[in-house]
Structure 1
Amino acid sequence: MTLFARLKDAAGRDWTDYASHEFVRRLGDGSLPEAAFRRYLVQDYLFLIQFARANALAVYKSRTLADMRAAQGALSAILDAELRLHVTISARWGLSAEDLDTAREARETLAYTRFVLDRGAAGDLLELQVALSPCVVGYAEIGRALTPGGIAAVPAEHPYRDWIADYAGAPYQDVARRARAQLDSLAQRMMPERRFEDLAEVFAMACRLETDFWQMGLDAASDPR
C-alpha cells in the first residue's frame, strides 16, 4: 500500500468530506452555481501562487539532487503551466488576469496555504509533501471519480467539462503518479513507523482545510462577498 493510500485510510471521514463535497458533486453533474465556480477560480489562482512558494520551499528542504529536481518540476508546473491555464479558463468565465491578480485572499485560502507553508517551515520535506498531497494527488482522484466513463463521456455542453478534463486527463494524472512515488521514496528514507500517526494528522488537517475551501466556493452562490 502506498503512503498516500495509508494516509487516506487513516483520515477516514476527513478525506471523504473533502473528496465527495457537495461542491465536487455539483461540479460533476453540472449543477454548481456559476457564482460558486467563479469564486473558486479566483481563490484557486491565489492558492496556486502560495503552493508555488511551498514547492520553492521544498527545493530548499531537499537533501538530494533528485528531491530538488522533483520539487523544481512541481514548481515549474505551477508557474509555467497551471497558472497560465488558470488564466485561460478564468477568461472563459468573464474573469480577467487583472481580476485574479487584484483579488484578496479569502480566510479559507489563507488558512490552508499558510498551514502548508508552516508545516514545511517547521518540519522536513516529507511533512511538507504530506501537507501538499491532498491537493496534488486528491485533485487527480477527484478528476477520475468524475469521469467513470472517461473524459469522452462528459457531454460537450457540460459547463465544467474543461476543469474536469484537466484533472482527469493523462498529464495531470502523471503529476499525481509522480507525487505518490515521491511520497513513497521520502517515506522509505525518513519515516520510521512511529512517525505515521503525526503525518496522518497533518494529512487529515489538510483535508479539513480543503473541505473549507470547497465550502467557501459554494457559499458564494448565496453570499458573493
Structure 2
Amino acid sequence: MAFSDQLLTDGEALWNAQKEHPFVVELAEGTLDPAAFRHWVEQDYRYLLDYARVFAIGGCKARDEETMTHLLGISHAILADELELHREFADEYGISRAELEAVTKAPTCVAYTNYLLRVAYEGSLAELAAAIYPCGQGYLDIADHMATIAEEEHRYTPFIEKYTSDEFRESVEWMRTFVDHCAEEYPGEQQAMKEAFLTSTRLETTFWGMAYRRETWDSPR
C-alpha cells in the first residue's frame, strides 16, 4: 500500500466525519445558510494566503529543481487562481478584496495556519508534505462526495465544480506522489509524517465546524 493511502486509512474516521458534517451535506444540497458560506469564504481566504506561504517555504527547502519548481508553482496558483475564486464568491455578498484581506481570523483558522507555518519553518520537507496533504486530498474527496449528493445546480455548484475539476485532481495527484516520494526517501520521517497528517486532518474537520457556527473570538466556548 502506498504511504499516502496508508495515511488515508489511518485517518478514515476523521475523513468520514468531514463528509458527514452538516456544512458539507447542506452545501451539497444547496441548503446551507449563506451566512455560514460567507464565513467560510472569509476565513478560507485568509487561510489560503498562509497556505500559499507554506508551499513557498517548501519550495525553498526542496533540494531538487523539479520539486522546487512545482511547490513554488502551486504557491503561485493559489494566489492567482484559487483566491480569485474566493473573490468571486465574496463579490456575491458585496465583499471587496480589501475587506477580505482585513478579515480577522477566527480561532480555528489561527490554529490551523499557525500549525502549518510552524511545520513549514521548523519541520522537515517530509512533514510539510504530510501536513499539506489533507487539504488537497480532503477537498477532492469531499467535493466528489458532494457531487453524489447534489441533485441539481444551485448557488454552491461552482464550489463543487472547482474542487472536482481535472486541474484540481492533477494537483492532488502530485501531492500524493510527493508524499509517497518523501516517505520512501526518508523512512525515518514516516511517524512524524503520520502525526502531521492526522493533526492537519483534525484541523480540517474543525474548520468546517468553525464556518458552520460562524465562529469568532467572542463565540461562547
Q: Is the 8 A contact 1:154 1:161 kept in 2?
A: no
1:159 equivalent to 2:155? Answer yes
What does residue 16 of structure 2 align with? 16
Shift of 1:224: 9.5
The share of aligned pairs that are identical, in percent, is 30
Cα separation, 2, equivalents of 1:168 and 1:38: 21
What does residue 180 of structure 2 align with? 184
* Alignment counterpart, residue 203 of structure 1, candidates 185, 189, 197: 197
What does residue 212 of structure 2 align with? 218
Cα separation, 1, equivalents of 2:170 and 2:213: 32
SS of the equivalent of 1:94 reads coil
SS of the equivalent of 1:120 reads helix
What does residue 63 of structure 2 align with? 63
SS of the equivalent of 1:116 reads helix
1:100 equivalent to 2:94? Answer no
Q: TM-score, normalised by structure 1?
A: 0.90
Report matched runs for 1:47-62 at 5 Å.
47-62=47-62
**How big is each residue's C-alpha offset from its partner over 1:146-171, in whole Å with a ceiling of 9 and x where there is no partner?**
1239xxx7523x12101111001111
User: What amino acid is the match of 1:84?
Assistant: E
SS of the equivalent of 2:148 reads coil
Q: Is the 8 A contact 1:130 1:183 kept in 2?
A: yes
Give the total of aligned pairs: 219
Q: Is the 8 A contact 2:19 2:145 kept in 1?
A: no
Cα separation, 2, equivalents of 1:204 and 1:19: 16
Shift of 1:137: 1.6
Q: Is the 8 A contact 2:18 2:142 kept in 1?
A: no
Cα separation, 2, equivalents of 1:196 and 1:178: 19
SS of the equivalent of 1:159 reads coil
What does residue 83 of structure 1 align with? 83
Q: Is the 8 A contact 1:48 1:83 kept in 2?
A: yes
- Aligned-pair Cα RMSD in Å: 2.1
Gaps of 5+ in 2: none
What does residue 147 of structure 2 align with? 147
Shift of 1:78: 0.6
**How big is each residue's C-alpha offset from its partner over 1:166-201, in whole Å with a ceiling of 9 and x where there is no partner?**
001111111111111121222221224xx4333222
Cα separation, 1, equivalents of 2:47 and 2:197: 18
Change in CA separation of 1:50 and 1:219 when aligned onto 2, cut-off 3 Å: same
Q: Is the 8 A contact 1:127 1:202 kept in 2?
A: yes
Q: Is the 8 A contact 1:60 1:68 kept in 2?
A: yes
User: What amino acid is the match of 1:213?
Assistant: F
Q: Is the 8 A contact 1:117 1:128 kept in 2?
A: no
Deviation beyond 6 Å, 4+ runs, structure 1: none
1:115 equivalent to 2:115? Answer yes
**How big is each residue's C-alpha offset from its partner over 1:2-22, in whole Å with a ceiling of 9 and x where there is no partner?**
322211111232232234322
Gaps of 5+ in 1: none
Q: TM-score, normalised by structure 2?
A: 0.91
Cα separation, 2, equivalents of 1:19 and 1:118: 27
After the TM superposition, which of the residue ranges 179-188 and 100-109 deviates more from structure 2?
Answer: 179-188
Shift of 1:59: 0.9
Q: Is the 8 A contact 2:183 2:190 kept in 1?
A: no
